[in-house]
Amino acid sequence: MIQLHQVSYQYNPHEPAALSDLNFTLEDGSFHFLNGPSGAGKTTLFKLMYMDLKPVSGTLTLFDRNVANLTREEIAHTRRRMGLVFQDFRLLDHLNVRENVSLPLSLHGKMTKSQEKCVDEILDWVGLGDKLNAHPNCLSGGEKQRVGIARAVVNRPKILVADEPTGNVDDAMGQRIMHLFTELNKHGTTVLLATHDQSLIRSFNYPVIHLDKGKYVKTASIYK
Amino acid sequence: MFKTIAQSAKKALSLKKDSIFRLLVVMTALLGWVTGVGAGGLSGLENLYQQWQLEQKSKISVYLLADSDAEKISQMKGDLRALLGVEDVGVLATEKTEELLAPWFEGEKNFPLPIVLEVTVDRILDRESFDGLIHRDFPEAEIDDARSLLVAVSRGVRFAQIVTIGFAVVMFMVMALLVSLTVRAGLRGKMHSLAILQYVGATDRFIVSLVTRQVMVQSIKGWFGAAVLSLLSVFAVQHWLQAATPYISEVVWASVVVVPFVLVFIATVSAWMTSYHFVRKARP
């Protein structure tokens, strides 16, 4: 469960709050879209969720723990249970596609055969089965995005937080990625997906959280 | 701490390609070589000193006047032999006495030579009883006492050893500093990789172990080079400087190999501390 209670964040005390008094709960196994104009605070909310930032006030609860009270070690272990998809991909250029995707699994020691197989299957699924040894600087934006998605889902996370995951891919691949997320969600992963793509939101019957100027506006069950 | 780490995480934070990190092997080899040769030299000097000290302590020369009574000398020799700690008593040959005293009596051929008794003793000798026995029969006898010389040489040797050890400590500090700067520079260049590793759930301990392990491997390579260079140096000394051979003991051979390994330990600890502080400062 992800729970936000009066969560606020301010980058600079002299500027307006990036997020103010957010209150909402994402139940385990739920799927939500996050929507709002540029500057609404979507990325800040994501940063709070993956504990890159800590709320200035309020309580953010992940896996029944207040993130403000987590130690560095606990933050790392919490992140292992999460999948993060970044808008700017955040891939390592000196690692090939396969190595980038297997990074979360490699933290547990030597990879097993089944884990290696899982990496190959996911890469196959996102259409990069023929680019296992390619390096990110040889890939298009869409391909990089798919590598980032494969890395986020490879360890079957309990929570998936994705910032514009379909922003750099064509419609067909966008739909394919959405089906992957849906499949993960069916197996119990809580998904929060930020997107500007109204058609994508319309195609899936999931609740939408609207943010505007750092404030929570509403949760619509079906976008209209 | 050093459990098997999969290739991708290891590669993500690989510092091997940083030229400054490569230099670590060369630095360890050179510093290790100097340290190894220093340690070998120190050990050899200790052997030389111990051997010389033993020689000085085991021989006592007693100078009697030229006209001393031969019968009394013979009787004293017998008494000395009966003394605990005296192994042998002999009279130095005239030629050897001349040779020994030559620097003091340049050109003087007619000077009456003293009678020199050479007494071989061991450690249990009671020096006071020994001196008393000689002065009982020959109050004017001069007993060659090497104690002041021994003290002076001992101080000199200890001073040389302290200087060498001080130099080694400076070397170790230089090594710790070099490793610290190398690791800091390496990690600064890998901030992006560090952040991504943290996003996928790498703990501080995991990152620190990745860095420490790499430094340890590099410094072991450097130590190996240092050990080879040091061994070759000792071989060269043994080959070209025959006089030094008796003092090159097993301890010398061992110290030229073992002492540079301290650098590996220092490098590892320094890498661990530096990376720990660096990672702790970085946002999780």
Q: What is the mean pLDDT of each run of 10 residues along chain A (224 residues)?
A: 91 88 91 88 91 93 94 94 91 93 86 85 90 92 90 92 85 84 91 87 88 72 46
Overall pTM surpassing 0.90 (yes/no)? no
Residue B227's Cβ-side half-sphere holds a number of Cα atoms within 13 Å equal to 16
Find the residue in A nearest to B200 (Cα): A104
Among A85-94, A102-111, B14-23, B193-202, the range scoring the smallest mean pLDDT is B14-23
Average pLDDT, chain B: 86
Q: What's the confidence (pLDDT) of residue B91?
A: 87
Higher-confidence position of B73 and A167: B73
Determine whether the interchain pair B201/A92 forms a contact, defined as Cβ–Cβ distance below 8 Å: no
Is B284 in CB contact (< 8 Å) with chain A?
yes
Find the residue in B nearest to A153 (Cα): B200
Q: How far is CA B104 from CA B97, B99, B142, B227, in A?
A: 12, 10, 16, 49
Q: What's the confidence (pLDDT) of residue B3?
A: 41
- Partner residue facing A92 (CB), from B6, B196, B204: B196
Give the DSSP H or E segment for B60: strand B59-64
Q: Chain A: nearest CA to B170, how far in angstroms?
A: 36
> How do A190-194 and A31-35 pair as beta strands?
parallel
Q: What's the confidence (pLDDT) of residue A218?
A: 67
Whether the CB-CB separation of A162 and A132 falls below 8 Å is answered with no
Residue A170, classed as helix, strand or coil, is coil
Please report which confidence band the pLDDT of residue B258 belongs to, taking 50, 70 and 90 as the band edges. Answer: very high
Q: What's the confidence (pLDDT) of residue B2?
A: 40
Distance, in Å, from the CA atom of B45 to the CA atom of B36, rounded to the nearest integer, reads 14
Is B11 in CB contact (< 8 Å) with chain A?
yes
Is B197 in CB contact (< 8 Å) with chain A?
yes
Q: Chain A: nearest CA to B193, how far in angstroms?
A: 7
Nearest 5°: CA angle at A184, between A181 and A189? 105
Determine whether the interchain pair B11/A100 forms a contact, defined as Cβ–Cβ distance below 8 Å: no
ipTM metric: 0.90
Find the residue in B nearest to A90 (Cα): B196
Is B1 in CB contact (< 8 Å) with chain A?
no
* B121 beta partners: B86
Determine whether the interchain pair B6/A51 forms a contact, defined as Cβ–Cβ distance below 8 Å: no
Is A107 in CB contact (< 8 Å) with chain B?
yes
> A197-206, B4-13, B103-112, B207-216: which has the highest mean pLDDT?
B207-216
Is A132 in CB contact (< 8 Å) with chain B?
no
What residues of chain A lie within 8 A of the CB of B276, using their CB? none
